Amino acid sequence: MGKKKEESFLNDYQKIKIEMFFEKVDNILKNQSDYYPEALEEIGFAYYEEENFEEKEEDEAIPQNSNQKYLVSYFDGKTELSEKTLQIFEAERNAQHSNYPLIRKYFKKANKNLKTLILYGLDQQPTHFQFLCDLAYYHEFENLLKELISRFSIACSKENNLLNFSEIAQEFYYATSPDGYDALSFLKDLFPPHTEKGKNIRFLIAELTKENDTSQHINF
């Protein structure tokens, strides 16, 4: 057997082995779902129970300074909302060594006082990108789609800096698309094509369409 024929034969043999292996895996997942870890181990997989490090971090997170103690007191309903609360929240979020696990667990609990704080911030600064992102993140744990659409729509209408507008519009799209809402189509209807915002939205739509077309034509 020539070298090229031998290599071709080995490649074909390897492909067959891989196909047979994936068929075994597929069969196990479909027909042995109740005890698939053991079945997968029998064909060579090593099964490990993945530890939820984020959850562990959040469980162990405690206030590390006076600002964080103040915020926890507010989240727990022991302190009234005020401008001071908002300032401390922003300071802690933007701190060089922010205690993210502590704040994150209140997002995941869909803490009502945290939501009130975010909306309070947007009442004062409707185009504040970080507060909009905070609301989008909160939405992952409690459905706030109507509020999200309303707040992002207001922000897009009020923001006159085109770079900031584009950033808000993209976040609007990505925050609401999992709910089946097409924010860019909404903004396209809101801003006529001859306006700068209208041109920006149409550019974003074209780029997103191009990106989706590219991802659909990737061959593995």
What DSSP state is assigned to residue 43?
Answer: T
Q: Is pLDDT above 70 for 210?
A: yes
Confidence of residue 14 (pLDDT cuts 50, 70, 90): low
* pLDDT tens-digit map of 153-181: 999 999 999 999 999 999 999 999 999 99
**How many Å from the N-terminal Cα to the C-terminal Cα in the chain?**
30
Name, in order, each residue with C-beta under 8 angstroms of 182's C-beta and a sequence gap of 6 or more.
173
Residue 17 exposed, middle or buried by CB count within 10 Å (0-12, 13-18, 19+)? exposed
pLDDT digits (tens, 9 = 90+) for 80-121: 999 999 999 999 988 888 899 999 999 999 999 999 999 999
Among the listed residues 57, 67, 74, 54, the one whose alpha carbon sits nearest the alpha carbon of residue 93: 67
Tell me what pLDDT residue 212 has: 67
Question: Which residue did the predictor score with more confidence, 130 or 13?
Answer: 130
Higher-pLDDT residue of 175 and 14 is 175
Give the pLDDT of residue 105.
Answer: 94
More confident residue, 35 or 98: 98
Q: pLDDT of 15-26, one tens digit each?
A: 555 666 566 656
CB 104 within 8 A of CB 122: no
Mean pLDDT calculated for residue range 146-157 = 98
**What's residue 55's pLDDT?**
84
35 pLDDT more than 60 = no
Q: Is 141 helix (H, G, I), strand (E, B) or coil?
A: coil
Nearest to 175 by CA among 203, 139, 150, 209: 139
- In sequence order, the 6+-apart residues with CB closer than 8 A to the CB of 108 are 58, 141
